[in-house]
Amino acid sequence: MPLVYVSFACGLIFGAGLLISGMTDTAKVLGFLDIFGAWDATLAFVMAGAVAVTSIGFALARGRGAPLFAAQSLWPTRKDIDAPLVTGAVLFGIGWGLVGLCPGPALVNLAGLSLSVIVFVAAMAAGMIGQDVWSKQKAATPTSETAIATSTDG
């Protein structure tokens, strides 16, 4: 089975889980973030359940020799915490706190054709594209140390 079909099926299952758990409801998410008001702990239970199921899934996957639908397993190797990671986490948290949506539920909510969700997803996509362009430009631009080393080598 081609990987694209497996990826699509996983996305459908994830989206269905978001709908069933109510995590596409921005009021529910914002209620979770309102810890000094009418706090709604539902999201904490959804996250705890997701972590439990995912932990079991990862344990089973690590025990397998090779994945079923890919040539090899692609496990993350980086363990450091750097400025881009922290900056991205802060921006993600700010967006989540202001709107009550993160990328998965936002994409699920696109089916409702709500103007606010469309604007959010467009802004999210623009941010992703902008970050990609910026990081490619940064990688292509030599640093001052590289420029000095290159000019003195010749």
pLDDT in tens, 14-54: 888 888 888 888 888 888 888 888 888 888 898 899 899 99
pTM for the complete prediction? 0.66
Residues 6+ apart with CB under 8 A from 48: none
Nearest alpha carbon to residue 30 among 96, 119, 94: 96
Which residue's structure tokens are 């990671």?
Answer: 85
> Alpha carbon of 53 to those of 15, 47, 50, 58, 70: distances in Å?
16, 10, 5, 9, 21
pLDDT value for 56: 94
pLDDT value for 86: 93
pLDDT tops 70 at residue 144: no
> Alpha carbon of 71 to those of 2, 3, 59, 143: distances in Å?
11, 10, 19, 37
- The overall longest dimension of the chain from CA atoms, in Å, is 68
In angstroms, the CA 106 to CA 118 distance is 8
| Amino acid present at 66 | A
pLDDT in tens, 72-125: 888 888 889 998 889 888 988 888 888 888 888 888 888 888 898 899 899 889
pLDDT value for 80: 92
- Residue 36 sits at φ, ψ, to 5 deg, of -100, 0
Residues 6+ apart with CB under 8 A from 30: 97, 100
More confident site: 132 or 145? 132
Which residue's structure tokens are 């190797």?
Answer: 77
